[in-house]
Amino acid sequence: MRWASCQKRREKPGLQLICFPYAGAGASAYRQWADEFPEQIEVWVVHLPGRDQRISETPIRSLSCMVEATAAGLAPLLNAPFAFFGHSMGALLAFEIARLRRRAGLSLPAALAVSGHRAPHLPDPGPVIHDLPRQSFVAELIRLNGVSEGVDNQPELLEVLLPMLRADFAACENYRFVSEAPLPCPILAFGGAHDSEASVEQIAAWRKHTVGAFWLRIFPGNHFFLHTARRELLDYIAEHLGLAVAGSAMTLA
């Protein structure tokens, strides 16, 4: 059971970037990233149960269980300097794994990059959809751009996708934030200018969760700006991960 894979090995990576998927996504969401980052950044993609090569496994419906299982699966990888990136559900997962590692006295990411999700202490303003009847659930997914229009006419595909999607939405919708001290690592927070799921103010509220540097950047696009504005996003991440690593080295010196 492999919890993460490297997209492209680097000879002398300065940093591992661990990427966490959004609801309904797998490794393919980050398939072009390794080719567009500088040589010193080695991209790793997290594999959650119920998708990709783990499609035969039962998806996890609880974020806390997802956090514990993923953290344990990633532990052997996190020896070199590393950073986390997560979009939407992946942002929550990355944030909670960083907090779990702190509670366990383990090394923390050089930076935490969170994208397309309101700050975790803010309540979810949206309706609960994970337990809706099939037709209504699919309609909501289409509205959220989570699946393409016409997918409801592809029963075989839906048979594969729906258990994973329901599980991911259940994990997010049942998440309950527990207050802890802010993290010491820098946070990079990203949003889409026209994202109906996370406003600029809700993204900016991530500032509360670090005592380190905080960088906020809003890109053109909707909830999936990480695809439509990918080049600008990756350039910004690469530049600021470099600043975060340099800051960590100065702190340790």
- Which residues are catalytic, by number? 88
Check residue 198 and report its DSSP letter. S
CB 67 within 8 A of CB 96: yes
Helix (H, G, I), strand (E, B) or coil at 66: helix
CB 190 within 8 A of CB 116: yes
Check residue 155 and report its DSSP letter. H
Check residue 53 and report its DSSP letter. G
Distance CA 191, CA 116 (A): 5
58 residue type, one letter:
T
- In the numeric block, the tokens 């806390």 are attached to 64
Sign of CA dihedral 183, 245, 247, 193: negative
| Closest C-alpha among 127, 245, 136 to residue 186 | 245
